């Protein structure tokens, strides 16, 4: 097990590599992660596994994309920051349970798929903390864009419930941080995970400072989203076995005008890569080129309205090879690397 998710400096690696060149973007793309995020372990055979982060980091090194990124360790979020998206009662209950779990011999099931181990609390605090620190960096001009390679993911965590591998809703917490602390007036949350981001919808439905646009396979877990919970949602249910070209056309029509009309000052991305056709948790047919296309669409929106500001957080993506390749495609666009 590596001591850190931070890759070694590029120059110390043996063997030749094609070095990508960042161009046109004066600010760097930061890559937040933390070794604690690797230690959260929901048991043998669980798809949301520590090796997901290893696969991403290994692929960045193998492709040379690592030299275009600024790697930073995620701090822990404070409970005050988390309570901008979750109820105080939920945060207290969950933190108490996870604190007790630090000394427990047996895993604790929050739902049949969502399991706490002794390392879960620190991992969850780092995941939310990554999204917050990335937001601070982008808004302070210390970075142009950011990607948070974190786990546990967040978009199924509702205001007061852990579910679907998620404990704290990292993206919603960061969006509220941008609104409440940095005083932005409008932010957009874009969710392209194959599963509906029911937790994010639960938290931000009716908060007119936020526009949430998403697509998701329907029907599929958590079997929500077909009827939006608020007027600030653009939900695009997609039939199983839909492939990239049809999906691109649909989201261009559904997302583009809504985002341009809303004029967000910053974009947050719930970046799940489980709509990939090699991923067994969904039945959509996307490939890396589709993630590249979607990211370009969002970079275009951010360039028009948001001074390029994007914070992207890892959600799903369970085929390790497809996940790593798709994250690289996403990062190449965010970092403007060709
Ligand atoms: Zn998912």
Ranges assigned E (strand) in the chain? 29-33, 69-73, 108-111, 114-116, 145-148, 187-191, 210-217, 233-238, 267-271, 310-314
Distance from Cα 58 to the centre of ligand 1, integer Å:
22
Distance from Cα 1 to the centre of ligand 1, integer Å:
26
d(CA 130, CA 135): 8
Per-residue pLDDT of the chain (338 residues; tens, 9 = 90+): 344 545 544 433 433 344 444 444 458 999 999 999 999 999 999 999 999 999 999 999 999 999 999 999 999 999 999 999 999 999 999 999 999 988 888 889 999 999 999 999 999 999 999 999 999 999 999 999 999 999 999 999 999 999 999 999 999 999 999 999 999 999 999 999 999 999 999 999 999 999 999 999 999 999 999 999 999 999 999 999 999 999 999 999 999 999 999 999 999 999 999 999 999 999 999 999 999 999 999 999 999 999 999 999 999 999 999 999 999 999 999 999 98
> Taking the alpha carbons of 279, 228, 79, 110 in that order, is the dihedral positive or negative?
negative
Distance from Cα 150 to the centre of ligand 1, integer Å:
14
- In tens, the pLDDT along 113-143 reads 999 999 999 999 999 999 999 999 999 999 9
Distance from Cα 217 to the centre of ligand 1, integer Å:
10
d(CA 139, CA 309): 7
Distance from Cα 327 to the centre of ligand 1, integer Å:
14
Phi and psi based region of residue 293 (left: phi greater than 0; alpha: psi -120 to 50; beta: remaining):
alpha
- Reference 135, options 170, 172, 174; nearest CA is 174
- In tens, the pLDDT along 317-327 reads 999 999 999 99
Contact 176, 84 (CB under 8 A): yes
pTM of the model: 0.93
Residues with a catalytic annotation lie at: 156
């Amino acid at each position: 097990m590596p001591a850190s998710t931070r890759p070694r400096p590029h120059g110390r690696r043996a063997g030749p590599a094609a070095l990508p060149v960042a161009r046109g973007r004066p600010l760097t793309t930061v890559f937040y992660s933390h070794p604690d995020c690797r230690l959260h372990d929901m048991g043998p055979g669980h798809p949301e596994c520590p090796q997901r982060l290893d696969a991403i980091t290994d692929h960045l090194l193998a492709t040379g994309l690592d030299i275009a990124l600024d790697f930073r360790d995620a701090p822990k979020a404070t409970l005050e920051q988390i309570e901008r998206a979750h109820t105080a009662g939920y945060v207290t209950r969950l933190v108490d349970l996870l604190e007790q779990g630090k000394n427990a011999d047996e895993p604790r099931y929050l739902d049949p798929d969502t399991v706490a181990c002794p390392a879960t609390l620190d991992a969850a605090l780092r995941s939310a903390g990554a999204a917050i620190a990335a937001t601070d960096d982008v808004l302070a001009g210390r970075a142009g864009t950011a990607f948070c390679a974190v786990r546990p993911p967040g978009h199924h965590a509702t205001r007061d419930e852990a579910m679907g591998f998620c404990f704290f809703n990292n993206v919603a917490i960061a969006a509220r941080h941008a609104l409440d602390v940095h005083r932005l007036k409008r932010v957009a949350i874009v969710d392209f995970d194959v599963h509906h981001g029911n937790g994010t919808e639960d938290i931000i439905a009716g908060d007119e400072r936020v526009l949430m646009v998403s697509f998701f396979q329907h029907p599929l877990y958590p079997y929500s989203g077909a009827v939006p919970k608020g007027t600030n949602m653009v939900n695009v249910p997609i039939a199983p076995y839909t492939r990239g070209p049809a999906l691109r056309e649909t989201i261009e029509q559904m997302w583009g005008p809504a985002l341009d009309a809303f004029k967000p000052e910053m974009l947050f991305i719930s970046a799940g890569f489980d709509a990939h056709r090699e991923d067994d948790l969904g039945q959509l047919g996307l490939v890396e080129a589709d993630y590249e296309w979607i990211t370009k669409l969002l970079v275009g929106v951010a360039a028009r309205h948001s001074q390029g500001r994007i914070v992207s957080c890892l959600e799903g993506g369970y085929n390790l090879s497809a996940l790593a390749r798709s994250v690289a495609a996403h990062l190449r666009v965010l970092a403007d690397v060709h």
